């Protein structure tokens, strides 16, 4: 990679994610509680989500004061540089609240509206995933590649569920109809880590409805740079209606079944 701007953005994202990850790992209070709720009483924010986002935005602002931000916990700023940072300071908050290890810091950089850098820091795994547009995907410096595609009925696929009860009920119906057509379904609780696990060949595919830009920005780039196909409904990019990521050969049949089952609506 020789583009000095992309080198700079990657290093800033890696440092910010590492610092936020260390804060979350080492600074978690023993009596951690819920600071606020979002879409429902079980869609929670902790004081640590807020502290991690403040750390990330402060660090990035110090080094690139003209950039914009979009963060899960409210960071929003229009920039003038053409660069926007898309930040999930703690993806997997409920896991974190319960001391489960599947949570991550996710930071992506967009240049003129296109994702060019993605970093996902998973402190409890000791893993840092990163990708640069056109430069491949890596974990702890080792190149990533998706698994060779199995037949769909031998594919291991992950998903997630919304925190709104009515939406989650429909998602459970979709999963119930889908699971007989797969090897099995996993539910990890962090979209960023699920996307990275597709990139690392630990999953054959992943799908979820209701993601926000900060949930998928970094992980989507990492998955694609590792050879995965990603999208939403047929012919559309990954978005809040539906996000699908899978090995070539699994992607299209999985996407087609999800369309048939109505995974894109509540």
Q: Tell whether the model's pLDDT for residue 37 goes beyond 90.
A: no
| Containing structural domain, residue 80 | 4-143
Are residues 104 and 171 located together in one domain of the fold?
no
Share of the chain above pLDDT 90, in %: 88
Counting beta carbons within 10 angstroms of the beta carbon of residue 49, is it exposed (0 to 12), middle (13 to 18) or buried (19 or more)? buried
Q: Summarize pLDDT for 165-203 with one digit per residue, the tens.
A: 888 999 999 999 999 999 999 999 999 999 999 999 999
CATH number at residue 47: 3.30.540.10
Are both 72 and 120 inside the same structural domain? yes
Q: Same domain, yes or no, for 160 and 53?
A: no
* Residue 85 burial by Cβ neighbours in a 10 Å radius (0-12, 13-18, 19+): buried
The answer on 157 and 110 residing in a single domain is no
Least Cα distance to 146 among 231, 233, 216, 245 occurs for: 245
pLDDT reported for residue 73? 86
Q: Is residue 1 pLDDT above 80, yes or no?
A: no
The confidence score (pLDDT) of residue 242 equals: 98
- Rounded Cα–Cα distance for residues 73 and 98 (Å): 20
Residue 186 resides in a domain: yes
Question: Do 185 and 247 share a domain, yes or no?
Answer: yes
pLDDT at 40: 75
Tokens found for residue 53: 């986002």
Confidence of residue 36 (pLDDT cuts 50, 70, 90): confident
If asked whether residues 128 and 216 sit together in one domain, one would say no
Q: What pLDDT band is residue 43 in, cutting at 50, 70 and 90?
A: low
Average pLDDT over residues 204-208: 98
In a domain, 233, yes or no: yes
Domain assignment present for residue 266? The answer is: no
Using the CB atoms, write b or e for 166-200: b if 16+ within 10 Å: ebbebbeebbeebeeebeebeebbbbbbbbbbbbb
Instruction: Among 76, 111, 143, give the residue marking a domain's end.
Output: 143
Mean pLDDT taken over the chain: 95
Beta strands 68-71; 83-91: pairing state: parallel
44 and 130 housed in the same domain = yes
64-93 mean pLDDT? 95
Is pLDDT larger for residue 244 or for residue 42?
244
Could you tell me if 45 and 162 lie in one domain? no
Contacts of 157 (CB under 8 A, 6+ apart): 178, 182, 183, 184, 185, 186, 203, 204, 205, 206, 207, 246, 250, 254
84-140 confidence digits (pLDDT tens): 999 999 999 999 999 999 999 999 999 999 999 999 999 999 999 999 999 999 999
Q: Are residues 165 and 245 in the same domain?
A: yes
Instruction: Let me know if residue 110 belongs to a domain.
Output: yes
How do residues 208-247 score in pLDDT, each as one tens digit?
999 999 999 999 999 999 999 999 999 999 999 999 999 9
109 and 60 part of one domain: yes
């Amino acid at each position: 990679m020789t583009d000095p701007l992309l080198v700079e953005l990657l290093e800033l994202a890696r440092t910010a994610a590492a610092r936020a990850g260390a804060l979350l790992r080492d600074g978690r209070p023993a009596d951690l509680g819920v600071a606020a709720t979002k879409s429902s009483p079980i869609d929670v924010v902790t004081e640590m989500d807020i502290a991690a986002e403040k750390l990330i935005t402060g660090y990035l602002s110090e080094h690139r004061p003209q950039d914009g931000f979009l963060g899960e916990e409210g960071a929003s700023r229009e920039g003038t540089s053409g660069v926007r940072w898309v930040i999930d300071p703690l993806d997997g908050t409920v896991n974190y609240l319960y001391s489960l290890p599947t949570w991550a810091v996710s930071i992506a950089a967009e240049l003129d509206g296109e994702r060019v850098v993605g970093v996902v820091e998973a402190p409890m795994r000791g893993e840092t995933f990163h990708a640069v547009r056109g430069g491949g995907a890596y974990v702890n410096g080792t190149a990533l590649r998706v698994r060779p595609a199995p037949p769909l009925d031998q594919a291991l696929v992950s998903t997630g569920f919304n925190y709104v009860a009515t939406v989650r009920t429909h998602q459970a119906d979709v999963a119930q109809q889908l699971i007989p057509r797969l090897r099995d379904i996993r539910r990890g609780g962090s979209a960023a880590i699920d996307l990275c696990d597709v990139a690392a060949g630990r999953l054959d595919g992943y799908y979820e409805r209701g993601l926000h830009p900060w949930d998928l920005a970094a992980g989507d780039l990492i998955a694609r740079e590792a050879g995965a196909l990603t999208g939403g409904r047929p012919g559309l990019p990954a978005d809040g209606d539906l996000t699908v990521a899978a090995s070539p050969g699994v992607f299209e049949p999985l996407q087609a079944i999800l369309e048939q089952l109505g995974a894109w609506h509540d």
